[in-house]
Chain A
Amino acid sequence: MLSYLNYLNDTMPCLMAILRLIVCIVCILAFVGLNAAYLVWLERKLAGRIQRRIGPKEVGPFGLLQPLADGIKLMTKQLFLPDGIDRILYLLAPMLVMTTAFMCFVTIPFGEGLVARELDLGLLAIFAFASINVLGLLLGAWASRNKYSMISSARVVSQNVAYEIPMLLVVASLLMVTGTLNLHDIVAEQAGGFWNWNVLRLNASPLMPVAFLIFFVCTLAETNRTPFDLAEAESELVAGSFTEYGSMGFGLFFMGEYANMVVGSTLISILFLGGWNCPFGIFPGPHWLFLKLYALISTVMWIRWTFPRTTFYGLLNLSWKVLIPIALVNLLITGALVKVF
C-alpha cells in the first residue's frame, strides 16, 4: 500500500498534493466539528458533576447523542434576521468566527508529520487567524443593531487588544529560547522527559513557569472564557455579541468558541508542555498531545464552573498593571540570559 502511494507520489505529484489537501481538510473539519460538539457534552457533564447533578443522560447512552439532538434543533430552526441589520455582515460574522478557528488547525502539528501544512512561520499564522476571530465577534455584534451587542463588541475589542500584548510578549521570550517559529521544531526541542519541556526550562529563563501562567490566563481571556467571559456576560448583556443570533448562526458562534478553546489548549501543550512528547521520554505520539490538550480543556471548564466573572476594569487592570509588566520583565531576563549564555 505504502509503496503504491510512493509510486503515485513519484508519477503524479500534483494529484497526490490535491488528494492530500482534501484528506487534510476533511480531517480538520471532522476533528473540529466533533470536538466542538462533544466538548459541549463534556462541559455539560462536568458542570453537572461539579454542581452535584448528573448532566445530560436521556439522549443515547450517557447522553452521548445530545450534541446530535442539539445540532438538529439548531439547524431546523429559522434563521431569523432582525429588522434594520446589516444583512451581509450579520450573516458573514458567524462564518468568519468558525472559518478562522478551522484555519488555525492548518499549521498545528498533532504528531510527527501529522500536520496539514507545515509552515516555518506557523506560530505567527495561528496568532494572525486568532485575531480575525475577534473581528468576527465584533462584526456580528455591530451588525445586529442591538445595544447589548454593541456594548459587548466594545468589550471584545478592548479585551483582546489588552490580552494579546502580554500573550505575544510571552511568546517573544519563548521564541528567544527556541529560536524558531516552526511548531514542529519547537516540539522537537522539548523531546525527552518533562524536565525538557519549555515550562520547566529554568536554565533558559527562571520565569518560564510564570510565562506559562500568563499565557494560560491570556488564553482564557482570548477565548472569552470565565472569569473573562465579559463579551457574553449573560447577567449583564443577555448574550452579548450574539444576542440577536438564533439557529445555526448562534450554533456557529458557539462551535467557534469551543474550537478556539481547542486551538488555545493545543498551543499551550505545544509551546510549554512538550507537545506529543511523553513526560518520561518513552512512546512519544499524538496520544500524549491529546491527553495534555483535554486535561487543559477540562481545567478551563473547571475554572468556568467555579469562579464568578470579573468586571471589565478588573480585567483591564489585570492585563495592564500585572500581566504586561511581568511579561516585560520576563522578556528582559530571558533576553539577557540568552545573550550571556
Chain B
Amino acid sequence: MNAEYQLPEDECFVLNLGPQHPSTHGVARIKLTLDGEYICKAEPVLGYIHRMHEKMAENRTWPQFFPNTGRLDYLHALAYNQNYACLVERALAIEVPERAEYIRVITTELNRIASHMVWYGAFVLDLGGFTPLLYTFDDREQILDLLESVTGSRLTFSYFRFGGVPNDIDDDFIAGTKTFISRMRERIKMYHALITKNVILINRLKDIGFIPAEMCRKYGASGPVARGAGIDYDVRRNEPYSIYDRFEFEIPVYHEADSMARYMVRMDEILQSLRIIEQAIATLPAGPIMADKVPKLIRPPKGDYYHAVETARGRLGMRAVSDGSAIPWRLKLRTPCFSNMLIFGEACRGMLLADAVALFGSLDLVIPDVDK
C-alpha cells in the first residue's frame, strides 16, 4: 500500500483537503496530489491555529503560563497541566504530598479516557458511522461531570498547582468514579460488539494504513501510533513520573502497524486507565493536598529543566530554561501531535482518498497541539 506511487506531474491534480473540511478535525490542511483517487503526494500544511504558546511563556510569570497548558491539546488538558506542574516542581525541588499525586493520577487518567472517547466517536464518524459519536460523547459527559465537580471546568482544565492541587476530591467524586468504572467496562464490551466486530469496519481498517516502526522512529511518533507499530514505549512505564510505578497496568502493544492496531491500542488503553483509577481510589491516602513550602513568588533557580509525560496522543516533553527570574527564559514544547501528523505525508502515499481519511483519523490529531 505504501509503495512509491509515481506518475507524471501533468496527470495529477492538486486537492486541498482542508483547512475547512469535515474530516480534518479543525483546521488541518493537507495538500494532496491525486491521480484519480490515489494519492501521489501529501503535504501537511501547518500553522492555521498557531498561537505562539512558546513565545507567550517568555512574556508571563511561571504560574501565569499555567492556563496556556490546558489549551494545547484541549482534549487531554490535564496531562499538560501535570507536565508543567511536574516540570516547575522539579526545578523548585518541591515534594508533592501523596494525596495530591493520587488525585492528579485519577483525574489525568479520567481525562485520558474522555480524550479517547472523543477520538473514538470522531474516528467512526470519519468512516461514515454517525451514531457512535453520540454514544461516546455520552460516556465523555459522565467524565466531564466528575471532573467539573473538582476542577471547575470541563474542557481547558487549569487544575493543578505547583506543589499539589487546589481542590480535594470528595466522597461523591469517588462514588461517581466507581460507578463510572463499572459502567465504562460494560460500554467497552458494547462498543466491541457493535463497532469493532462490524465487518465493514474491519475491512476498512485491517491491513490498511501501515505506519511501520521504522517510520515512527524516523518522525519521532509516539503514543498509540508507535505502540500500534510494535514499539513498546510508554513514558508512564519507561520513565516513571508521579506515582505511576506503584500501579499495576499493562502497556497495550500491537504489531500489525495498521489502522486496526492503533484502534485496538486505544481501546485497550481505556481499560488500563480504568485499572489505574481503580487502584488509585482503593489506595488513596489521607493527608494534605498542597506542599507546605511553595514560595509565593515562583523563581526557579538558574538552570535547564526537562520533564515528559504520556498524554493520550503520545510523549509530551517540556523543556524550561530559567535565568532565575520570575519569567521563563525559554519554554520548549515537544507536542506529540506534531510528530504524529508529519508522518501522514509519507504514510498515505499510494493510498485511496477514503483510506487516507481513515488513516488520518487513526492518528488522533488535535490541531491546536500541532500548531501550538
Contact = CB atoms under 8 A, between A and B. Distances in A.
Interface stretch (A72-80, A275-283, A310-318): A310-318
Interface stretch (A4-12, A85-93, A209-217, A229-237): A229-237
Contacts of B198: 307-308
Contacts of A235: 22-23, 125-128, 357
B255 to A, nearest CB: 24
Interface in A208-253: 226-227, 229-230, 233-238
Contacts, number: 77
Nearest to A226: B128
A314 B23 CA distance: 20
Contact of B128 (A47, A148, A154, A233): A233
B221 to A, nearest CB: 23
A237 B357 CA distance: 10
B134 A310 contact: no
B47 interface: no
A194 interface: no
Interface residues of B, number: 28
B13 A147 contact: yes
B293 to A, nearest CB: 50
Contacts of B15: 147-148
From A47, A52, A307, residue with most partner B Cβ within 10 Å: A307
Interface stretch (B199-207, B280-288, B328-336): B199-207
Interface in A274-313: 305-313
B352 interface: yes
Interface string B330-362: 000000000000000000000011110100000
Interface string B13-32: 10100000111000000000
Interface in A29-88: 47, 50-53
A151 interface: yes
B37 interface: yes
Contacts of A312: 37, 352, 354
A305 B128 CA distance: 9
A169 to B, nearest CB: 24
Nearest to B124: A308
Given A52-B138, A147-B13, A235-B357, A310 B204 contact: yes
Contacts of A52: 134-135, 138
Contact of A151 (B21, B37, B357): B37
Given A310-B200, A311-B354, A227 B22 contact: no
Contacts of B13: 147
B18 to A, nearest CB: 10
A243 to B, nearest CB: 11
B36 interface: yes
Interface in B29-70: 36-37
Contacts of A151: 36-37, 353
B238 interface: no
A178 to B, nearest CB: 33
A306 B128 CA distance: 10
From A148, A237, A311, residue with most partner B Cβ within 10 Å: A311
A314 B202 CA distance: 11
B127 A308 contact: yes
Contacts of A50: 131
B129 A308 contact: yes
B357 A314 contact: no
A27 B352 CA distance: 45
B130 interface: yes
B326 to A, nearest CB: 47
Contacts of A230: 354
A151 B356 CA distance: 15
From B130, B138, B201, B353, residue with most partner A Cβ within 10 Å: B130
A313 B353 CA distance: 11
A310 B22 contact: no
Given A227-B200, A312-B354, A307 B134 contact: no
A51 B203 contact: no
A147 B14 CA distance: 9
A220 to B, nearest CB: 13
B33 to A, nearest CB: 12
Nearest to B125: A235
B134 to A, nearest CB: 4
Interface string B163-205: 0000000000000000000000000000000000010110110
Given A147-B15, A314-B204, A227 B37 contact: no
Nearest to A304: B130
B127 A309 contact: yes
A147 B138 CA distance: 36
Nearest to B128: A309
Given A151-B353, A238-B21, A311-B204, A305 B36 contact: no
Given A154-B36, A235-B125, A311 B130 contact: no
Nearest to B205: A308
A236 B204 contact: no
A305 B37 contact: no
B203 A310 contact: yes
Contacts of B124: 308
Contact of A306 (B37, B131, B134, B355): B131
Contacts of B130: 47, 51, 305
B363 to A, nearest CB: 15
Contact of B131 (A51, A154, A227, A238): A51
A147 B201 CA distance: 27
B128 A229 contact: yes
From A50, A147, A238, A309, residue with most partner B Cβ within 10 Å: A309
A149 to B, nearest CB: 12
Contacts of A148: 15
B134 A53 contact: yes
A50 B131 CA distance: 7
A308 B134 CA distance: 14
Nearest to B194: A306
B138 A236 contact: no
Given A308-B204, A312-B37, 11 more contacts: A235-B22, A236-B23, A236-B353, A236-B357, A238-B21, A305-B130, A307-B129, A308-B201, A309-B200, A311-B355, A312-B354
17 contacts: A50-B131, A51-B130, A52-B134, A52-B135, A151-B37, A226-B128, A233-B128, A238-B21, A305-B130, A305-B131, A306-B129, A308-B129, A308-B200, A308-B201, A309-B127, A309-B128, A309-B129
Shortest beta-carbon contacts, A-B, top 10: A309-B128, A308-B129, A308-B127, A235-B23, A51-B134, A308-B128, A311-B354, A235-B126, A305-B131, A147-B15
